Amino acid sequence: MQKLDSSPVRGTRDILPAYARLRRTVVQKILGYYTSCGFNEIETPALERKDVLFGAGGNENEKLTFQVMKRGEKLISALNSKDESLTDSGLRFDLTLPLSRFYAANSQKLSMPFKSVQIGQVWRAERPQLGRFRQFIQCDIDIIGDKSLLAELDLLASTAACLNELGFFGFTVKINHRVILNQLLITWGVPETIRNDVLIVLDKLDKIGKTALLQEIGKFQLPDGSLAKIESWLASTDLPNGLELLEGQHSVPPAVDAVNELVILIRTLESLSGGKYSVMYDPTMIRGMGYYTGLVFEISYKDYPFSIAGGGRYDNMIERFAGRKVPACGFSIGFDRVVSIIEKEELLISQDEVGAAVVYDSDEDLHEAYAFMLKIKQEFRKTNIVRRTKNQHRQLTNLLDEKYTYAFYKVRGVYEKVLIQEHLNESHNAEIKE
């Protein structure tokens, strides 16, 4: 019989027990903290219709959508037609679009404003590379129905405190405003039809550098002088860009309001940080999604070449589903990135419940051993039963690796408890003496 390839699909991965335990611990801590802040846990389907997934400003992510083929008669009909699409749905590429549809479908059952937390798998047909997968977890909190600055402050302060709970300190919260960026595009003379495309390119600044960025923007049909203005602005971003420099630069009412929001949010969040993190205005932080309409934000940590959280206000998205404008704002923790850093830097030591394993010798002992294992569940939240192997040292080492603290052995008709680590140390010392 031919042996099948046992590796997972390219761009996906298997999660081994120790790492799965760490991920579960992180999920539980995140959910526990956010729900304590008044966010309500929700779930949405992995599959969404194509009309939900496309045309909402997902930009590059829309191009990376895994589409799902029609089934049965609908597929046969599509195959016989030159104009009919073969697909009718797709795997979600983020949690924001599904949330918008969810809210429109269930708004009558939800309180206003509605604060949600959702942790779930998303899929993108990325080119697989180190640290980038086609299936990964997103962890989103959102506030729907609140157009005030309280929504942004609540999202940012809650997420910063949640990261502190996970062991992250000294990170930087970067904040910008899409209205200010849009005013800059107008000042530069960028036509409205390509403004979003230019923003998407500008968002690549930290990845490709100024020279390559200007070359890419130069491919657009820009009016004379526009590229020079963009180049001058990029040069000015090397200078200190404190809020004092930003205030007074814009005279157009929407931009003035945006500057005021930036100033209030940054100064308020700074006062709440207690020195555990820093807050700054970052004029080059754009966020690539086209659906953002107001304040946008990211969190960077040390010198890692990626953000560990990001989000912003998206006041126009829910209108597609609800037929009316509904203010909305969201923030997402990069779950896989956060977990990888936690593991690497040992920021969070997983405190699993103490576990115990019952070790039995033969099938004749199985009934009694299993009954005893069920009995000790009252004392230990995690229990298991295993048959004794010849190599007891390896068996106990494996149990310890799987977070079992104690082992029970039957001695003179009674099960006695053994502290695994202590037993291993004693056997190791005995070997050395011999």
pLDDT tens for the chain, 434 residues long, are 889 999 998 889 999 988 998 999 999 999 999 999 999 999 999 999 998 888 765 556 577 889 988 888 888 888 888 778 888 899 999 999 999 999 999 999 999 999 999 999 999 988 777 667 899 999 999 999 999 999 999 999 999 999 999 999 999 999 999 888 888 888 888 888 888 788 878 877 777 888 888 888 888 888 888 888 888 777 776 544 555 556 555 556 677 888 889 989 999 999 999 999 999 988 888 886 778 899 999 999 999 988 999 999 999 999 999 999 999 999 999 999 999 999 998 887 544 567 899 999 988 889 999 999 998 988 887 899 999 999 989 999 999 888 889 999 998 888 999 999 888 887 654 443 33
Tokens read off for 200:
């998407």
Identify the bridge partners of residue 132 per DSSP, sorted by sequence position. Answer: 129
Smallest CA-to-CA distance from 393 within 370, 350, 362, 359 is with: 359
Looking at residue 268, its pLDDT comes to 94
For residue 128, say if its preceding peptide bond is cis, omega within 30 degrees of 0: no
Looking at residue 161, its pLDDT comes to 94
Question: What residue type is assigned to position 274 of the chain?
Answer: G
Looking at residue 307, its pLDDT comes to 92
Judged on CB neighbours under 10 Å (0-12, 13-18, 19+), 209 is: exposed
Looking at residue 434, its pLDDT comes to 36
Helix axes 178-188, 226-236, angle to 10 degrees: 140
Smallest CA-to-CA distance from 288 within 93, 130, 19 is with: 93
Q: Which long-range contacts (CB under 8 A, 24 or more apart) does 101-108 make?
A: 101/44, 101/48, 101/52, 101/321, 102/42, 102/44, 103/144, 103/318, 103/321, 103/322, 103/326, 103/328, 104/318, 104/321, 104/322, 105/321, 107/322
Q: Are 114 and 100 in contact (CB under 8 A)?
A: no
- Token pair 């604060």 is found at 115
Looking at residue 330, its pLDDT comes to 97
Q: Are 341 and 301 in contact (CB under 8 A)?
A: yes
Looking at residue 432, its pLDDT comes to 35
* DSSP type of residue 264: H
Question: What residue type is assigned to position 411 of the chain?
Answer: V
Q: Are 420 and 393 in contact (CB under 8 A)?
A: no
Looking at residue 239, its pLDDT comes to 46
Give the helix ranges, DSSP H, for 223-315: 226-236, 243-246, 253-273
d(CA 360, CA 424): 19
Spell out the domain ranges in the chain. Answer: 17-345, 355-433
- The CA-CA-CA angle for residues 206, 210, 213, to 5°, reads 90
- The CA-CA-CA angle for residues 376, 380, 384, to 5°, reads 70
**What fold, for 355-433?**
Rossmann fold (3.40.50)
Considering the four listed CATH numbers 3.40.50.300, 3.40.50.1220, 1.10.760.10, 3.30.930.10, the one that applies to the domain covering 17-345 is 3.30.930.10
Q: pTM of the full predicted structure?
A: 0.79
* DSSP type of residue 122: E
Q: Are 286 and 199 in contact (CB under 8 A)?
A: yes
Tokens read off for 287:
């966020």
- Do 355-433 and 17-345 fall under one CATH topology? no
* DSSP type of residue 340: H
Other beta carbons within 10 angstroms of residue 425's beta carbon come to 11
